[in-house]
Amino acid sequence: MTPRAAIIAAFGAIFAVVVAVDAYARRAGTRLRPLSATIGAALRTRSMRLVVFGAWLWTGWHFLAR
């Protein structure tokens, strides 16, 4: 397995975990908040918007840059 394929597989695994946890959080009676509520709370302040934007840029650069 090439390093690029390993990185893509790792990002895919992280994405799968995020989707699974979000699906679990949407069930009735759970104490977890869904991803949309978490992102919404994070985007309330300008500083956190910059952090989320930076994380998005970092992820895109490392996943898509070649």
Domain that holds residue 14: 3-64
Query: Around Cβ 22, how many Cβ atoms within 10 Å?
Result: 16
Q: What predicted TM-score, i.e. pTM, was given to this entire model?
A: 0.64
| CB-facing half-sphere around the CA of 35: CA atoms within 13 A | 9
Number of domains comprising the chain: 1
pLDDT digits (tens, 9 = 90+) for 9-63: 998 999 999 999 999 999 999 999 998 998 899 899 999 999 989 998 998 887 7
